[in-house]
Structure 1
Amino acid sequence: MLGWKDERPLSAVLPAKEAKAITKALGVHTCGQLLLEYFPRAYSRHGSGVLAEEAEEGDMVTFLGEVTDIRQFHSGAGKAITRLTISDGQTTFAASFFNAKYLTRVLHQGSRAMFAGKLNFYRGQPQLQHPDFLLLPAPGQKAAGTGSLNSLSAYGDPDELLRNLDYVPIYPATAKLASWRIMSAIQYILSTLPPITEPLGEVPAGMPSFDASIRGAHLPGPEGPEPHLERLKYNEALTLGLVMALRRLDTLKRSAPALPVHKDGYRAGLLAQLPYQLTDGQQQVLDEISEDLEADEPMSRLLQGEVGSGKTVVSLLAMLQAVDSDCQCALLAPTEVLAIQHARTLTKLLAQTGVAATVIPLTGSMPTAVRRQALLDIISGQADIVVGTHALIQDSVEFFDLGLVVVDEQHRFGVEQRDRLRAKGREGQTPHLLVMTATPIPRTIAMTVFGDLAVSTLRELPGGRRPIQSTLLPESRPAWITRAIARITEEVAAGRQAYIVCPRIEGAGGVIELAEKLSQGPFQDLLVEVIHGRLSGEEKDAVMRAFAAGEIDVLVATTVIEVGVDIPNATVMLIREAENFGVSQLHQLRGRIGRGGHESLCLFHTLAEPGSPAYQRIGEVAATSDGFELAELDLIHRQEGDVLGTRQSGSLRTLRLLNLAQDRAIIERASVDAEGFVDRHPLLAQRLVLEIDRGDREFLDKS
């Protein structure tokens, strides 16, 4: 962890049998892996109760509880049964033992012990069948237990091992490895571990040393585990902070083309002829971007804004500032639908305002002749603004003089992809970079994974936009669903258009089946069309053109319409099985409507049962249209793995303890400290970063 490793093999420190059991059960081979990858999930102080984890039938549970009743009797088959009633302070468990008459000599009413076993339920009552247990000895008592108790003897006197603990750590256990077996192995490893030299050179102010924290997180003294866990969380946050600070330093060492504002250029022409005024927020963000572009250091800026907050026109003005200085711009979009939509929107806006800048689309599905001409326009400098998908990154694409890269929906791309596009600038110079997202980023995420970017934020919506009414539509209310379908029909009759979003293409509730069902039923007099990811680029473009032209009444789609699609006449959206989508994704989808001056309605259909977590989550989305509030909610519901957008579940291996939803203060401090650390100790910072787990380094490079 950030400058410290313990690469001693478990087999060189622990008894051979214990080392083999731990490796087989947990997959760890070194002492450092065990110390840094398996922290307690809870602690019991002086025998106080520790709640059993929220577990399901068949799960292994480990908890500390008190025996509230013990009875012995014989079954009909003549077997001796000992039945315990155990309370962990909240839940009462029953535990049954067969032919275990010795139990009444070891356990009594009031005895406190750790129990481990497989959970099942009988008539709603949690049961443990013949669990392992470990009695926590009171003064004058001897340790006692079953199962793996003998493993403790391998490390010394079990009485002393258990009696000297101020806090008893409870570890995540497996069917083959009880919590106290992990505890005893870790305690022994720590007893053989020499004092650790402070990896950062100096102990952070107000925190315990790293050596004290490694020991105190596993075996806390009277002060408890909190200060030690906070220090280890700080180290995790500092790891990410150093990566971002080094990235910022690297950017500052590069040179970029200085792009001054021209008073009579394309940018000024667009501003003068816009049919509306920029909002105060748009003007402020534009000023921030323009100032960055005028410098000879590469801009690295993130523009985040609410759905429909006007990021597109701001990015166009930034691109025209580059074009005014005879530089080209590349706008990178995640899908062909969005790329073509952007190219069309930019071309239309330039034509309406009489600005002669040229916009060229470039996508993978273009006909060969059209693509060849586009490549010629790009390399010759005839193309001012090139809008494309991943096709822009290919080696065959060469720019005449690339000065600005704009990345839309940045969470769909990684640093690696952005840098490959920036490498297409003139020799010795790095193009400026503006990345945009309509998915607001929680502050803790912005400081960690996107900490190398300056942040501009658009919260204000342009004039004329009306709030979108959102309603929950449970499957258990068929009358509501019937009314929703009728509501869509009414909107179409009033000259409007509608989206219906499905979580899948085929099968029950999929795009194809639902479109056919609606076309033959309630929408038989309407023009219904489908769009999904299996259609070719030309087919998707044709559908979107027809929808934009008002030739389609109802568009049944997957999430290919999630971002960037701008049809002001679309006023109603029905999202089927909304529980299959994330919080931010639902907000993004909802943002496809309400883009004109008409009242708009979003209907969140769900199969989730009222009162369930999924139902509650959808209700929270329906209750607010504030994307920044929803981003924080998304972080709580899905944790950082999903919100980062770079993988669908899990999180950085580096983050064993740090919680991006709860540890904001630690993250803020570490982010500031990392900047100062890089200034004072740049070589040490680089060495510390190189020691990050290889998988995490690859993840961060692609984040």
Structure 2
Amino acid sequence: MADFLKTPIEYLKGVGPERAKTLQSELGIFRYEDLLNHFPFRYVDRSKYYKINQMIDSSAEVQIIGKISNIQEIGQARGKRLVAKLEDETGQMELVWFKYTKWLKETIEKSVGVPMVIYGKPSEFNGRFNIVHPEMETVENHQSVPVGLYPVYSSTELMQKKGISNRVMQKLQMQLLSEIQLMEETLSESIINQYKFLPRKKTFQAIHFPQNPEDLKKAESRLKFEEFFFLQLGLLIKKLSHKSKFRSHEFTSVGNQFNTFYENHLPFELTGAQKRVIKEIRSDLGKPVQMNRLLQGDVGSGKTMVALLSMLIATDNGYQSALMAPTEILAQQHYNSIKEYLADMDVEVALLTGSTRIKERRIIFEKLNSGELKILIGTHALLEDNVVFNNLGLTIIDEQHRFGVAQRAKFWKKNNLPPHILVMTATPIPRTLAMSLYGDLDVSVIDELPSGRKPIQTVHRKDTHRLAVFKFIKDEIAKGRQVYVVYPLIEGSEKLDYKDLMDGYESISRSFPLPDYAVSIVHGKMKPVDKEYEMQRFIKGETQILVATTVIEVGVNVPNASVMVIESAERFGLSQLHQLRGRVGRGAEQSYCILMTADGLNETAHKRIQTMCNTNDGFEIAEVDMQLRGPGDMMGTQQSGDLNFKLANLAKDQKVLTAARHSAEELLNADVQLNLPENAPIRNHFLKYHQDKIAWSRIG
């Protein structure tokens, strides 16, 4: 059967070479299995028909049986439209096509006087009802489809032009299903019985031609489970393979440097979450297998301290550590924090970025090569070939999604044994998305903020409230506080955004004049040295207001800054808004985030603003963000390439994903090689898609 489903689509009755070319170019259907997995995107209840005199101006779509007459082309050029009359025994209404081809016009003309089933959304215009761009087919064709829910498949203009209508797609699916005598199972009998899944062939019959909503739900349930299950199985096998293949340094002890710092120099009490995460990392480092762990922590949760304590464990065991950040600002921030924490310790730390001078680089390279330098912090500059470690034992990568896999892998080649890897992100990732994107990693989460931090108060203000906002800013500055004012910088409109930024800077400079107020400005067009100069003025308290673009999204730590004003907040995504808000609230004083928007907001923008005002929980915000944007847009195409599900939805099908992950874990715990006869269907199906990626012999 597997070979049968790989048959080229042109050999299916009703297709042929010409239609095959169109199906290939428009829908990516090359083989029988591609057609079988081309699912309807919606269904019509074929049991209900309406009369024309029953029409109401509503959002519901209806199904009408009637005859077409009086076809006319009305208007000129772009305003041209095709209008036909539809009538039944109760009355008349219009069918309208604003975009139509010669082929469509000819098809409609051939339908005159023939009983037709018309489907679409009715609307009222000038006292008469019409349906714009209706779907239509003869009653004879319509009734030849098995009674139940009527499948509607995605289509394109070229497909319509070539005569591949929705009815043709239905016929092709029926033909294919009739030719399939036996369909091989992909799941074990125990899993099928556990979840009461339909057999595989019945599943495909029910997804394409469901007899009722219950059958459709059963089919969707199995197919969604399979999509999640085989993804999770692949990630878990990859994880097992990694642990069996990649050896690393075994950090056998927690020694003097860690204990001295922890007992005498720790600047604050660790949260319970930080302690838990450090234990998880310590456990990994104590094994001769490469650690491959993701550390998630909301803004201000204390990831840098966890990173430092991990690096001190490496130091105690005679190894060097590297911490790589995506920007100079963030690398500088990590360096400043860690340098300050270790001020009374005998552990040498250095910073290497693109701006590091040649003389300083030479000193760093010498100390790194000799082993004298224990901790190196930097940007992509750490990946350069001339950066040679004496014995690199631990690599920490911050905001890891900004680095490619190839870049991260370069660290592995800087040692005989690959170093332990800890990747960190301050971007909260929904549990379901983390499970699917990073299911091959061990995941730690810091889900507590340090004690003493007051929740940031977030409010929404419109342009009409600007004078009141300025007064509030002045009141905060009078208390000795500092303020960020951030403008959007969106790719593709830099000139417009730059103008917004400069106009805003001039407006604030007029409203907050010298000598009472000093204003800094930071944006991407500035030279790094100028940007750093302005940032340092703000950090030192020499300026009270920092006007900036999103360059300050990560890596700026000014505990005295208590107000974050985000201009044109409707132009930011939820993740960015949350990251920007995290620049304040880092001290003991009450902090505020003011979201400035225009008066009119669309539904999505309103939901984002409302979410920000309702919660400070980054993981809750991430869940809403995924529902609004989808996982692909959240993580970018490179990150979400494996998540192009046909039916499954990470935002809506969390229970299905959890069940699939649990089943995959149970399966591998009981039969890691999938050698048991009952698991043969799973192994066979899995190998079809992963045989070039998995080396089973590594897993034992």
The answer to whether the Cα contact below 8 Å between 2:73 and 2:83 also exists between their aligned partners in 1 is no
Task: Encode CA deviations 1:390-434: one digit per residue, 9 max, x unaligned.
Answer: 222233322111111112123323444333323423x2x332222
Q: Given that residues 203 and 210 in structure 1 are in contact (C-alpha distance below 8 angstroms), is that contact kept between their aligned partners in structure 2?
A: no
TM-score by length of 1: 0.82
Q: How much has 1:559 moved relative to structure 2?
A: 1.8
Aligned to 2:414: 424
Displacement of 1:224 in angstroms is 1.8
Q: 1:415 to 1:166 in 2, by over 3 A?
A: same
Q: 1:434 aligns with which of 422, 443, 450?
A: 422
Provide the C-alpha distance between the structure 1 equivalents of 2:197 and 2:449, rounded to a whole number of angstroms: 44
Aligned partner (choices 150, 165, 181) of residue 168 of structure 1: 150
Report what 2:242 is aligned to. Answer: 251
Between Structure 1 and Structure 2, the one with more helix by share is: 2
Work out the CA distance in 1 between the residues paired with 2:310 and 2:31.
53
> Per the alignment, in what secondary structure is the counterpart of residue 511 of structure 2?
coil
Q: Is the 8 A contact 1:440 1:627 kept in 2?
A: yes
Q: Quick one: structure 1 residues 230 and 129, their matched pair in 2 at CA, closer, same or farther if it must change by over 3 Å?
A: closer
Question: Shift of residue 193 of structure 1?
Answer: 3.4
CA deviations over 1:224-255 (Å, ceiling 9, x no partner): 22222222212211232123212211232132
State the match for 2:447 in structure 1.
Answer: 459
1:427-576 superposed matches below 5 A: 427=416, 429-475=417-463, 478=464, 480-504=465-489, 506-507=495-496, 510=499, 512-518=501-507, 520-525=509-514, 526-576=517-567
Instruction: Report if aligned partners of 1:610, 1:616 keep a CA contact under 8 Å in 2.
Output: no
SS in 2 for 1:430: coil
Report how far residue 605 of structure 1 moved.
1.5
In the TM superposition, what is the alpha-carbon distance from 1:86 to its structure 2 partner?
Answer: 14
Q: Structure 1 residues 357 and 167 mapped into 2: Cα distance closer, same or farther (>3 Å)?
A: same
Counterpart residue number, 2:168 = 181
Match of 2:79 in 1: none
Deviations along 1:542-564, one digit per CA (max 9) or x if unpaired, are: 33222211122222222221123
Q: Indicate the residue corresponding to 1:151 in structure 2.
A: none
Contact 2:595 2:609 in 1 (8 A): yes
Matching of residues 39-118 of structure 1 within 5 Å? 39-48=39-48, 65-67=62-64, 82-83=85-86, 94-96=94-96, 106-107=114-115, 113-114=118-119
Q: Which residue of 2 aligns with 1:636?
A: 627
* CA distance in 2 between partners of 1:538 and 1:5 (Å): 65
The answer on whether the counterparts of 1:262 and 1:268 sit within 8 Å (CA) in structure 2 is no
**Structure 1 residues 557 and 76: alpha-carbon distance in aligned structure 2, compared to 1, 3 A threshold:** closer
1:224 alignment partner, SS class: helix
SS of equivalent residue, structure 2 residue 423: strand
1:602: Cα distance to partner?
A: 0.6
Aligned alpha-carbon RMSD (Å): 3.8
Structure 2: which 5+ residue stretches go unaligned? 51-58, 75-81, 98-104, 675-679, 695-700
Distance in structure 2 (CA, Å) of the matches to 1:385 and 1:160:
74
Contact 1:405 1:422 in 2 (8 A): no
CA shift in 2, pair 1:369/1:410, >3 Å = same
Stretch of structure 1 that moved more, 668-677 or 436-445: 668-677
| 1:323 pairs with 2:315 | yes
Equivalents in 1 of 2:88, 2:379: separation in Å? Answer: 63
Distance (Å, rounded) in 1 between the aligned partners of 2:428 and 2:337: 23
**Higher mean C-alpha displacement, 67-76 vs 532-541:** 67-76
- The Cα shift of 1:200 comes to 4.7
The answer to whether the 8 A contact 2:352-2:361 is kept is: yes
1:609 has 2:607 as partner: no
The residue aligned with 1:240 is 231
Q: Which residue of 2 aligns with 1:277?
A: 269
**C-alpha contact (below 8 Å) 2:573/2:608 kept by paired residues:** no
| Paired letter, 1:495 | G
With over 3 angstroms needed to count, the CA separation of the structure-2 counterparts of 1:115 and 1:626, relative to structure 1, is closer
Task: Name the aligned partner's letter for residue 339 of structure 1.
Answer: A
Distance in 2 (alpha carbons) for counterparts of 1:593 and 1:257: 39
State the partner residue of 1:10. Answer: 9
- Identity among equivalent pairs (%): 33
What are the residue-to-residue correspondences of 1:208-223 with 2, within 5 Å?
A: 208-221=198-211
The alpha carbon displacement at 1:215 in A equals: 3.3
In 1, distance between residues paired with 2:579 and 2:155?
40
Counterpart residue number, 1:22: 23
Structure 2 residue aligned with 1:346: 338
1:515 to 1:221, Cα distance in 2 relative to 1, 3 A: closer
Shift of 1:645: 4.8
- Paired amino acid for 1:438: A
Q: Structure 1, residues 604-660: CA drift from partner, whole Å, max 9, x if none?
A: 112362463212221111211111211111111111113335559x86464111100
| 2:391 alignment partner, one of 379, 398, 401 | 401
On the 8 A contact 1:65/1:86 being kept in 2, the answer is no
CA contact (8 A) 1:67 1:84 kept: no
Q: Could you say if the C-alpha distance between residues 343 and 661 of structure 1 is closer, same or farther in structure 2, counting changes exceeding 3 Å?
A: same
User: Which one-letter code corresponds to 1:95 in the other structure?
Assistant: L
What amino acid sits opposite 1:42 in the alignment?
R
Q: Using the TM superposition, name which of 370-379 and 672-681 deviates more.
A: 672-681
TM-score, normalising length from structure 2?
0.82
Structure 1, unmatched stretches of 5+, are 51-61, 138-142, 144-157, 698-703
Alignment CA distance shift 1:384-1:445 (3 Å): same
